[in-house]
Amino acid sequence: MVLAAATRAWLLESLRGAPTPQACANARAIGAALRRAGYTSRAIGERILRGTPVVAAAAPTQVLRRAATAAAPARRDEVDALIALFALGLPVDRRELPTSYETLAPLLIEDDEIRARCMVVPVGALQDAGADLYVTTDLPPEKRRDEEPCMYLGPDSLALADIASKLATHKRVADLCAGSGVQGLVAARAGALSIEWVEPQSRAAAFCRLNAALNGVPGRVVEARVDAVDGSQFDLILANPPYVATPALAYDAFADGGLDGYDVLCDVVEYASLNLASEGLLACVFELNGPPEALFAKLEAAWTTGGARCALIHDTLNERTSPAAAAARRGGDAADAWLANYEDRGVDRVANAILLLGRSGGGFEVDVEACARAWAPPPTNVEARRAVARAVGWVSGV
């Protein structure tokens, strides 16, 4: 397939508004070309992660980080070149893409070498045996260019997608703070009746449109903040809001959850209180910043319609979940400012967490469970899946 020069422009730009038929056709062709060339989650697992395709599928940023700690892998064929280009952010030579270059041109920057404009992740091996989904998003911070980024795919995104793959069948689904839209894509693969993505950042909303077209998934993209959306009735609401408790310093918009990390999370819970069907469920990934009691007080205030059951699953507390460790990871040279903000906000832990919430006839009931790794990737997430199953049963009254 040879693309005319006019269609070689970065495809994302043509998807900042309503997608054109040509843009959708280009996106579908890209997915087909990647599949024909053998660029799959299994190939990434076998070639980069030593025979563990499910880990590659469930935590794609591990691929980039694994390669950063060792020499770049030798490139023997087109699959290796595609992995280098789209999973590792490395340049390749045009001659290394004999079957796919022309079709992939809208995703490429070409000068002396070819570079990818974005990460393309084949996502599979969740609770679904179908073909991989292809998800485009920005490369992680160490690889991307200067522009307000769409969130890269991390373990939080894929933990929520894993939940969606189990719960979305025959459901009307909303994907809030959608980023690249991966949760909605997985929900569609699991048999959701409908998908609505809600995302305030223009670039991220365009990635949602691109990924929907890339995978042939119908759905509606609403480019707006959660607190400004006129909602509808949904059976399942998925959310990956900005959740980092951030001091008054510049930080990525997709991560900045305000001083205590709960600003957007509370907007999500209020949205769910207004738009969740009578037997519906909100599933959300976030960070627990402080005692669960302080979180529940905020969520109860945000839940504005009747009673609710709220289940919290969080990582077992250890040295990594301490405020000092989190400040060092996040703050760098400004670690003291981060730690001071934690102290000011009463943050005594920073733990990966999952929230499940549904309607009830009583008051605001809560349940808490600690889990060794709440966002562990398949197949190592057996404990997390069991905790989620128990929480879903309790929230649903089963």
Tens of pLDDT, residues 204-243: 999 999 999 999 999 999 999 998 888 789 999 999 999 9
Contacts of 332 (CB under 8 A, 6+ apart): none
Query: What pLDDT does 378 receive?
Result: 77
217 and 362 co-located in one domain: yes
Question: Is residue 203 included in any domain, yes or no?
Answer: yes
**Residue with token string 């952010």:** 89
Contact 137, 128 (CB under 8 A): no
Average pLDDT over residues 140-151: 67
Q: Among 234, 361, 342, 224, which residue's Cα sits nearest to residue 288?
A: 342
Residue 144 has pLDDT above 60, yes or no: no
Contact 76, 48 (CB under 8 A): no
Cis before 73 (ω within 30): no
Cα angle vertex 231, ends 181, 363, to 5°? 105
221 and 179 co-located in one domain: yes
Q: What is the CATH number of the domain that holds 239?
A: 3.40.50.150
Question: Is residue 279 included in any domain, yes or no?
Answer: yes
pLDDT digits (tens, 9 = 90+) for 291-324: 999 999 999 999 999 999 999 999 999 999 999 9
Query: What pLDDT does 139 receive?
Result: 79
Query: What pLDDT does 88 receive?
Result: 85
Question: Is residue 320 included in any domain, yes or no?
Answer: yes
167 and 294 co-located in one domain: yes
Q: Which domain holds residue 63?
A: 7-124
Residue 120 has pLDDT above 60, yes or no: yes
Average pLDDT over residues 259-264: 97
323 and 185 co-located in one domain: yes
For the chain, what is the radius of gyration of the CA atoms?
Answer: 21
353 and 221 co-located in one domain: yes
Average pLDDT over residues 83-87: 90
Last residue of a domain, one of 79, 103, 124: 124
Q: What is the percent of the chain with per-residue pLDDT over 90, rounded to a whole number?
A: 68
86 and 181 co-located in one domain: no
Query: What pLDDT does 3 receive?
Result: 44
Return mean pLDDT, the chain: 89
Compute φ and ψ for 358, nearest 5 degrees.
Answer: -145, 170
Q: Among 114, 129, 156, 165, which residue's Cα sits nearest to residue 41?
A: 129
Question: Is residue 145 included in any domain, yes or no?
Answer: no
107 and 37 co-located in one domain: yes
104 and 216 co-located in one domain: no
Residue 60 has pLDDT above 90, yes or no: no
Cα angle vertex 153, ends 149, 154, to 5°? 115
62 and 196 co-located in one domain: no
Confidence of residue 46 (pLDDT cuts 50, 70, 90): confident
310 and 174 co-located in one domain: yes
Average pLDDT over residues 137-159: 76
Question: Is residue 142 included in any domain, yes or no?
Answer: no
359 and 316 co-located in one domain: yes
Question: Is residue 226 included in any domain, yes or no?
Answer: yes
Residue 27 has pLDDT above 60, yes or no: yes
Q: Among 210, 223, 196, which residue's Cα sits nearest to residue 23?
A: 210
Question: Is residue 149 included in any domain, yes or no?
Answer: no
Question: Is residue 253 included in any domain, yes or no?
Answer: yes
HSE (CB half, 13 Å, CA atoms) of 398?
Answer: 9
Query: What pLDDT does 380 receive?
Result: 82
**Cα(254)–Cα(234) distance, rounded to whole angstroms?**
24
Confidence of residue 145 (pLDDT cuts 50, 70, 90): low
106 and 161 co-located in one domain: no
Q: Among 286, 327, 292, 313, which residue's Cα sits nearest to residue 373?
A: 313
Average pLDDT over residues 162-184: 96
Task: Give the count of domains, the chain.
Answer: 2
